[in-house]
């Protein structure tokens, strides 16, 4: 197949590229940074697929491609994967988030129509449900109460995609919190769990410089809360799997049916990432926080909606698809989580 992709130079996209190249597809990768995109050629060396890199930008009409590139692709693509997105949770970034996540999707849909694709795959997020605690594999209301503009922009982009079902088949894929490879722990991510890890490392160094490295600092956490973590290789396998057995106009949750407790994940972080000076505390401890702890909790507050909740995701469509391609469902255990945190720590030590 001829497959066009946006966002393929990122953490998840790079893994999907390897899957698709291994299966012998011809890939057309849109990239703002040509040098970064060319690194994909080295990662896929020896695989069966062919990769073409096209310079462009999803925020620009026609994806910022030259007229020559656009003409070359017209009516020649079979499938379009739209993965490019801005993943930030800051409330003051609403305009930028909508420009990239919504307007960028609008440009991608029109480009896909001109390319003559038969199927458009939109990689969204499991958190388009907003503040709800249960999500079905269906569109959520655009009037939901969202935690941040990121969720809102992705929800509205999902609705936009479904407006194009007269032009081509549309599937929406919703990953939860993507973490490192389940076998090696390898990760190239700055988001969510890794953002929290980096924030804690910064505070650890700060406290050590102040001579407070032997104290204990409390992080507020809901007792019994879980973290819906999914390894990047599992997510990439689902993304490539729908190409074989995906159904039109379906939504697929790429989530964890047995998410680990936040307390268990945090204990692994303490042990494997050298964060022993931090300790979890229930929210009724908040009045007892000292000044340093108040600052710490305010900085990491942006992650609490993803690492400090209990959400149930129906993933019936995904499980049916995995069964049809004879692929195993996700089985995450504590040894896997330890491998992934160790992988992060080892990579950090080499920098």
CATH number at residue 98: 3.40.50.720
Q: Is residue 247 part of a domain?
A: no
Question: Domain check: are 108 and 52 in the same one?
Answer: yes
Within-domain flag for 238 = no
Residue 39 in any domain: the answer is yes
Residue in 46, 47, 26, 29 with CA at minimum distance from that of residue 38 = 29
In a domain, 61, yes or no: yes
Do 100 and 203 lie in one domain? The reply is no
| Residue span of the structural domain in which 217 resides | 193-226+260-310+333-346
Tell whether 75 and 221 lie within a shared domain. no
Give CB contacts under 8 A, 24+ apart, made by 89-97. 89/147, 89/148, 89/150, 89/302, 89/303, 89/305, 90/148, 90/302, 91/148, 91/149, 93/149, 94/149, 94/153, 97/149, 97/150, 97/153
Question: How many CB atoms within 10 Å of residue 291?
Answer: 7
Report the pLDDT value the prediction gives residue 279, as an integer from 0 to 100. 94
The verdict on residue 338 lying in a domain is yes
Q: Is residue 101 assigned to a domain?
A: yes
The span from the CA of 278 to the CA of 301, in Å, is 15
Same domain, 78 and 144: yes
Task: Give yes or no: residues 209 and 116 share one domain.
Answer: no
Q: What is the count of structural domains for the chain? A: 2
Residue 41 has pLDDT above 90, yes or no: no
197 and 162 within one domain: no
Out of 153-162, 182-191, 289-298, least confident range: 182-191
Q: What pLDDT sits at residue 311?
A: 96
pLDDT tens per residue, range 134-149: 999 999 999 999 999 9
Q: For residues 40 and 94, which has the higher predicted lDDT (pLDDT)?
A: 94
DSSP conformational letter for 322: H
24 in a structural domain: yes
Does the pLDDT value for residue 84 go beyond 80?
yes
The per-residue b/e assignment along 92-121, b for 16 or more CB within 10 angstroms, e otherwise, is ebeeebbebbbbbbbbbbebbebbebebbb
Of the residues 141, 175, 209, which one is the last residue of a structural domain?
A: 175
Is 0.85 topped by the overall pTM? Answer: yes
Residues 134 and 201 in one domain: no
Count other Cβ atoms within 10 Å, centred on residue 336.
Answer: 20
Q: Which residues contact 202 (CB under 8 A, 6 or more apart)?
A: none
Residues 66 and 41: their CA atoms lie apart, in Å, by 22
Residue 327 lies in a domain: no
Confidence band for 324, pLDDT divided at 50, 70 and 90: very high
**Integer distance in angstroms from the first to the last C-alpha of the chain?**
38
At residue 351 the predicted structure's pLDDT band, cuts being 50, 70 and 90, is low
Is residue 14 domain-shared with residue 67, that is, in the same domain? yes
């Amino acid at each position: 197949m001829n497959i066009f992709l946006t966002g393929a130079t990122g953490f998840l996209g790079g893994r999907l590229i390897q899957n698709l190249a291994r299966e012998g597809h011809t890939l057309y990768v849109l990239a703002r940074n040509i040098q970064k995109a060319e690194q994909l050629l080295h990662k896929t060396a020896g695989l069966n697929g062919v990769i073409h890199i096209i310079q462009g930008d999803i925020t620009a009409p026609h994806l910022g491609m030259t007229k020559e590139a656009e003409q070359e692709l017209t009516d020649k693509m079979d499938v379009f994967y739209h993965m490019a997105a801005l993943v930030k949770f800051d409330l003051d970034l609403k305009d930028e988030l909508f420009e990239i996540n919504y307007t960028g999707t609008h440009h991608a849909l029109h480009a896909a129509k001109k390319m003559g694709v038969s199927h458009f795959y939109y990689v969204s997020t499991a958190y388009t449900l907003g503040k709800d605690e249960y999500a079905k594999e269906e569109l959520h209301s655009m009037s939901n109460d969202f935690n941040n503009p990121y969720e809102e922009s992705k929800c509205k982009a999902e609705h936009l995609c479904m407006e194009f079902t007269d032009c081509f088949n549309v599937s929406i894929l919703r990953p939860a919190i993507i973490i490192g490879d389940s076998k090696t722990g390898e990760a190239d991510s700055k988001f969510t769990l890794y953002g929290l890890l980096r924030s804690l490392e910064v505070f650890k160094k700060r406290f050590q410089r102040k001579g407070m490295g032997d104290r204990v600092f409390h992080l507020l956490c809901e007792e019994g809360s879980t973290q819906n973590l999914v390894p990047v290789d599992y997510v990439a396998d689902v993304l490539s799997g729908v190409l074989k057995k995906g159904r039109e106009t379906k939504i697929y949750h790429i989530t964890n049916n047995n998410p680990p407790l936040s307390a268990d994940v945090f204990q692994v972080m303490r042990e494997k990432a050298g964060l022993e000076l931090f300790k979890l505390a229930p929210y009724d401890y908040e009045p007892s926080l000292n000044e340093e702890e108040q600052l710490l909790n305010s900085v990491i507050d942006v992650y609490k909606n993803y690492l400090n909740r209990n959400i149930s995701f129906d993933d019936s469509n995904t499980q049916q698809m995995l069964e049809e391609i004879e692929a195993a469902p996700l089985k995450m255990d504590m040894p896997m989580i330890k491998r992934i945190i160790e992988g992060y720590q080892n990579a950090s030590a080499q920098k």
